[in-house]
Amino acid sequence: MSLFSSDHKAVARRYLWSGLGFLLLGGLLALLIRWQWAYPGQPVPGLAWALPESRGALTPPAYTAVFTMHGLIMIFFAVTPLLFGALGHFVLPLSIGARGLAFPRLSVVGFWLYALGGALVLGSFAVRLGPASAGWTSYPPLSTPAFTPGLGQTLVTVAVLCAGASAFLYGLNFIVTVVRCRAPGMTWGRLSLTVWGLFFASVLNVLFVPVLAAATALLLMDRLLGTQFFIAGAAAVGGGGDPVVYQHLFWLFGHPEVYILILPAWGMVGDFVAFFSRKPAHGYRLTAGAMGTVTALSGLVYAHHLFTSGMSPLLGRTFMVLTLLISLPAEVMYLNWLMTLWRGSVRLTSPMLAALSTMIVFGLGGITGLSLGAVATDVPLHGTLWVVGHFHLTMGAASFLAVFAGLYFWFPKMFGRALHEGLAKAHVLSSAVLFLGVFGGQLAAGYAGQLRRLYDPYQYTYLKHLLPLNQWTSACAFLLGAAQVLFIVNLVWTLARGRAVGANPWKVGTLEWTCAPSPPPAWNYDPVPEVLRGPHALSQPEVLAQLGRDWMGQAEPMPDAAETEPGPVDAEEPGRVSTSGGAA
Amino acid sequence: MRAPHEEEASREDVATRWLGTVLGLAAWTMFFVSLTFAVGWYRMREPWPPLPISTWLLALPGLPLILGSAVLARRRDDARRVLRSLKVALVLGAAFVAMQAAWTHLAWWNHHLRIPDDGVPASAFYGLTALHGLHVLAVLAGALFSAVRLKRGADVRDAVRRQALGWHFVSVMWLLLFLAVYLP
Amino acid sequence: MKVLPAGSSSGALFASVPPSSPPPAHVPAVAPGTSTTDTPRDALVPAVAPGTSTTDAPRDALVPAVAPGTSTTDAPRDALVPAVAPGTSTTDTPRDALTLSLPEDASTHGHRIDELLASSHRFDAVLIAVALGWLVLAVWRFHQAKQAASDGGTRRSRAWVLGLALGAFAVVDGSLLLGSEGYLRDVLWNFHVPAEDPRTVRIEINAHQWSWEARYAGADGRFGTPDDVVTWNDLRVPVGAPVWVQLVSTDVVHGFSLPHFRVKLDAIPGRVNQTWFQAAREGAWEAACYQHCGTSHYRMRGVLTAMSPESYATWLREAGKQATQAYDAEDLAAHWGWEWKAP
Ligand SMILES: [Cu+2]
Ligand SMILES: [Cu+2]
């Protein structure tokens, strides 16, 4: 298994290990931020080696670098690679019955571009003046050399370009794979919701990552060649440019990026609630359609990030309406998940617990975002920890829990070994509860007015009384960090001596579980399965009657009806097993 | 890279790669659309000063690009003819790059249009010309690669078809660049 | 989410507040010019550094909070003191530090935002209760149920989903949209109010790394003239009159916010942004930068003092005289004012 193998499962494993590594790094940086807000300016235990002058205490420059790198690493090097690089690469071809990705060599190139970006990120910590420190958004003019001269800022900007290029490549790869490489019979209406989520997110990737690339390319030229695209004010030469152009371009990418991070999560939740309610997903087409609607709208709402930038009232009103509009498809999808649980037979396995936790944190995150979508109510909350809590609940906690839902679900297929269910459940539950503590605390502090990115919020008299709240929030964060040990122990122990599992431990019908062993061989399927029904053919009466089980493989033919006595078929919907929709 | 038991796969691969190229280039259009958006923003903000190079001269490099598009657009099956059109295209591409290099050189040294002194217009002129030029070079590298493979006897007809698409793409993007930056 | 768990009371933090202060648990008003609350009340008067001219003010003030160098000085001391001592002027009820609540509202119009937020949060609470309640109920009721339904919903159930979503959307988003639109029309984007009110105070603010430089037109009512009053991290406004702010930045993007007045606006180099507000009562509050603007972003703190119209007028008159005397035509860096931009 060489490092350049182009088997999609090998590429997925590479993304998995590097993504988990960066998740750890990004998480540790987050804990540093939390330490600073709980014990401002006090030495961080065990950090004296990195910051000898301050004996381990964060200095303002170190702090700005820490929160900047936390955001960049989490978004570009941890969560996206875990969702797409690891789970997407592994699941997508298997789930549609393909023998691999459409462009296997491209996926290798994509991984190594990502790895190059990761190396630049790590290297930036070692250069003079440290890594990037202009915030994850890298707003100019702050991110131009006049105000952030260090080499680290340049390296990280290039690293973001690398990560973007890799995201563009796997986005394209996924789209073409879904369009061209589906197994016979795998109609669009029979794709799993996970594939739908990955597909829509890939569409967003290929459309909006180029926008980020353009903004970053112009910024990079401003940094390196002395162009004046985004430089204004005292530092400008020859009339100067306009930093607001960057803000528009950045958020034209930045808002879809939020959906890039959540669409695969939505897809997995949709599938897992169906699988573990032992019941077809409620309103499969509605759910897929709602995800598509969100995808279509997501490029049209970005300027809610600029409500306080002095934009024209016409633009402000337009974006306010469009932003609020996006909550409609989200509500449809959420209600469908709830309806899927209803009248099901709920099994609280570890992936199900993670999916339900995702639903809870995503629900809270979505609802707390409403007040940010309207201009008037955005004003008091803009730039506060309310915003931070809101988007961490959606693209932080929800995406994180969805990653682990997916990992706990597909781990047996990936490695042929079952993780320890008890440890997995403990990890999911403790993480979910602590996420609510951390980001709930941030919402509260933000509501009381605490602004983001303050090295010492207590410089402000009106924020002084929030210190105990922040300490409480930080305690939750440290516990959250500690809770991840449960996962690491589980992972190491399982890989070393975990119980081997069969092909279909979860007893569900999708192709990867019913047509391939765990782990699947190099070309996945031989022969390629002929798909007969949808991904959620669960608790079908005919199957129960004839086979005595509540699941049916997507490519599994019904035994000849003449052989067995047909059971009592639901009079209303006879033989619905093999038509369309969630069940079929 | 071929799966076992898949004899008819190669035809499939060609269509798949074609689709990937079409979708990829279509999506990458967003890159140039974003650049145009930025320049358009500045042009709406204040009058755009005329560039020191005449618009006719700036339009001239479009000619080899369009000719190259035309040459590559014709589908040929005969290997010698494919090689000839590749060579013609490479010469035309080199002519384009040379002209763009000449105009930027003239603007910089003879007309003293400088970065950063001349602000956004100069930045857009040099910066966007360079970004577009990098795309042209990438397409040319692809064509050169195909030409070399063809000389070694490989069948490159499908690769050339995709490179032709890339060529059309940079031609259209050059038009966008012309409208956004070069046109007074 | 309304009330956070008790147990980490912060009352002790404010033990140093003088007992004369009516709200003992919380000091909403700011101690201008200092960052500590235990300074004696008299020291809370905006610190005036006599004799300093505009140019002496630290251009790169790294410690903006300390000694806002008002350019203007020998003005009678009582004119500089807000008529009512900050902290006592605020009559709002004392709030527990752990209550989820917005910063105290000291503006005339901010209550509209607060009420809109409150009503929107009531809807949010209902949404959360329904969504999570339903989830918990479903899991509890159907856990390991013997039989599961075999369909992916009926026409009717799907119609219900659509209907429920549409209903929730119409009520929750609709009310938020209408309320927001009302505020935008009447206040935030309605510059007729400050433009037509003769009492309107116009202020030009120039954001720096890391301080707020404010410019008042002085007696002649025009900006960019020798009698312009320039202050550092020290805004003064009269109570009850619209305050119209035009905002720029010299270096990077900053964010000008007055949390107690529900004011937020980006300060962007190369463009003039504007907003307006009105102080409802006398007192002193903080101005904060909300856009990351470099290493000392967190120290970009200013103080806004709302004064009685009379003391404001006295202050401006005296400060204008001082500024005229101290005017230095050579000091180009101090001449950043611009002709007031019409809306
Ligand atoms: Cu957004
Ligand atoms: Cu600032």
Query: CA of C77 to nearest chain A CA: how many angstroms apart?
Result: 25
For C306, the 3-state DSSP assignment is strand
Name every residue whose Cβ is closer than 8 Å to that of residue C71 and which is 6 or more positions away in sequence: C52, C53, C54, C57, C229, C230, C231, C319, C322, C323, C326
Where exactly are the structural domains of chain C?
A: 199-327
Tell which phi-psi region holds residue C58, choosing left (phi > 0), alpha (psi between -120 and 50) or beta: beta
| Chain A hits for C273, Cβ within 8 Å | 309-310
CB A462 within 8 A of CB C285: yes
**Chain C contact present for A4, CB below 8 A:** no
Q: What is the pLDDT averaged over residues B108-126?
A: 89
Closest chain A residue by Cα to residue C188 = A376
What pLDDT does residue A560 have?
67
Chain A residue closest in CA terms to B38: A245
Mutant choice from B2, B17, B123 vs A, greatest count of A C-beta within 10 A: B123
CB contact residues (below 8 A), chain C span 78-117, against chain A: 97-98, 100-104, 110, 112-114, 116-117
Which residues of A fall within a CB distance of 8 Å from B131? 217
Per-residue DSSP letter, C99? B
A 10 A CB-CB count for C81 gives: 19
Asked if the model's pLDDT at residue B5 lies above 70, the reply is no
Q: C130 in contact with A at a CB cutoff of 8 Å?
A: no
Could you list the beta-strand ranges (E) of A333-443: 417-418
Angle (CA) C50 C55 C56, round 5°: 45
Task: Name the closest residue on chain A to residue C109, using Cα atoms.
Answer: A376
Q: Which domains does chain B have, with CATH numbers?
A: 6-182 (1.20.120.80)
* CB–CB contacts below 8 A, A to C: 338
Q: Nearest CA of chain A to the CA of B92: how many Å?
A: 27
C240 forms beta bridges with none
Q: Which of A339, A492, B156, A101 is CA-nearest to residue C135? A: A339
Chain-chain contact of C250 with A234 (C-beta, under 8 angstroms)? yes
Residue C59 sits at the chain A interface (C-beta within 8 Å): no
pLDDT tens per residue across all 584 residues of chain A: 567 788 999 999 999 999 999 999 999 999 999 999 999 999 999 999 999 989 999 999 999 999 999 999 999 999 999 999 999 999 999 999 999 999 999 999 999 999 999 999 999 999 988 999 999 999 999 999 989 999 999 999 999 999 999 999 999 999 999 999 999 999 999 999 999 999 999 999 999 999 999 999 999 999 999 899 999 888 787 778 899 999 999 999 999 999 999 999 999 999 999 999 999 999 999 999 999 999 999 989 999 999 999 989 999 999 999 999 999 999 999 999 999 999 999 999 999 999 999 999 999 999 999 999 999 999 999 999 999 999 999 999 999 999 999 999 999 999 999 999 999 999 999 999 999 999 999 999 999 999 999 999 999 999 999 999 999 999 999 999 999 999 999 999 999 989 999 999 999 999 999 999 999 998 899 889 999 999 999 999 999 999 999 999 999 998 865 444 444 434 334 334 433 445 55
Distance between alpha carbon C309 and the CA centroid of its chain, in Å? 20
CATH class, range C199-327: mainly beta
Find chain A residues with C-beta within 8 A of C65's C-beta.
459
- Where chain C has pLDDT below 50, the residues are 1-95
Please give the structure tokens belonging to residue C164: 């429920």
Point out which residues pair with C321 in neighbouring strands: none
Please, where are the H alpha helices in A48-189? 60-72, 80, 89-95, 104-124, 151-180
Contact assignment for C164 to A335 by CB distance below 8 Å:
yes
pLDDT of residue B64: 94
Put simply, the chain C residues between 139 and 168 with a CB less than 8 A from any chain A CB are 139, 142-153, 157-158, 161-162, 164-166, 168
Residue A248 pLDDT? 95
Q: Are strands C263-267 and C254-258 parallel, antiparallel or unpaired?
A: antiparallel
Q: Which ligand is nearest to the CA of A142?
A: 2
Cα separations in angstroms, A171 against A164, A166, A298: 10, 8, 17
Domains of chain A by start residue, with CATH: 8-497 (1.20.210.10)
Strand pairing category for A417-418 and A499-500: antiparallel
Residue A552 CA to residue A536 CA, distance in Å, equals 8
Q: How many helices (H) and strands (E) does chain C have?
A: 6, 10
Cβ within 8 Å, pair C295-A375:
no
Nearest residue on chain B to A102, judged by CA atoms?
A: B16
Which chain C residues are Cβ-neighbours of A37 within 8 angstroms?
A: none
Q: A287 C-alpha to center of ligand 1: Å?
A: 21
Question: How far apart, in whole angstroms, are the C-alpha atoms of residue C104 and residue C285?
Answer: 10
Q: Which residues, other chains included, contact C255 with Cβ-Cβ below 8 Å and sequence gap of 6+?
A: A308, A383, C264, C265, C266, C267, C289, C290, C291, C293
Predicted-complex ipTM score: 0.93
